[in-house]
Structure 1
Amino acid sequence: MKRTSKGKHVLYLIAALGMLMYALPLISIRPEAGWVSIFGWVWAAFAFLVIGAHLHFLLGVDADKQRALDQVRKAKLQEWQKKWSQDTHRHQGVE
């Protein structure tokens, strides 16, 4: 199983929060601003997505799901190895 450091996600979360806190007062999200307003809304939405993704990882919401996927991956690997072993023995018997 691949292990990742939570420290990296904490750092990225703090960086994203800092950028959002700095940029929100500067972004023009007034309806009469036109394209500038659209850009501001989209940029803020992406920033919130990044923050949400890092919070999701840090809170471990998908830890059970990851364990289940790892079990499926191991079962498929064992099945593949068994099939490969049977094919190898069958071919060796033919030759």
Structure 2
Amino acid sequence: MLKGTRNIVGMALALGMMLYAVPRLDFGGGWTLASVFGAGWIAFALLVIAAHLHELLGVEEETKRELLKIKRIKKWRLEQSLQGRRSLLQIKK
């Protein structure tokens, strides 16, 4: 699946669960176990929706690109270092 498709499906499922479950949750009795569970469940569902929306909007794309650049540079430096050591070993032989 495409990158965005997975996030759209996940967000749609979470929104569907909320639309189905929120009217059925009991909040009228004060701080009961059922109301605390309902509040926690809604908070978790909103967190899932926010995570999918965050990924869809590409908020961290620039950071990911910068980290990829850094990893490539580190890999290149390591290769250069290993090649330099290899050439030193060949000279000593």
Under TM normalisation by the shorter chain, which class is it? 0.7 to 0.9
- Give the count of matched residue pairs: 92
Q: How does 1:1-95 map to 2 (within 5 A)?
A: 5-30=3-28, 32-94=30-92
Secondary structure, aligned partner of 1:61: coil
5+ residue gaps in structure 1? none
5+ residue gaps in structure 2? none
Runs of 4+ displaced beyond 6 Å:
none
Cα gap change, 1:89/1:51 in structure 2, threshold over 3 Å: closer, same or farther? same
| CA offset digits 1:1-36 (Å, max 9, x no partner) | xxx621111111101110111111111234525111
RMSD: 1.9
Taking only the aligned residue pairs, the percentage that are identical comes to: 32
Cα gap change, 1:30/1:69 in structure 2, threshold over 3 Å: closer, same or farther? farther
Cα gap change, 1:43/1:92 in structure 2, threshold over 3 Å: closer, same or farther? farther
- For 1:10, the aligned partner's letter is I
Question: What TM-score, normalized to structure 2?
Answer: 0.83
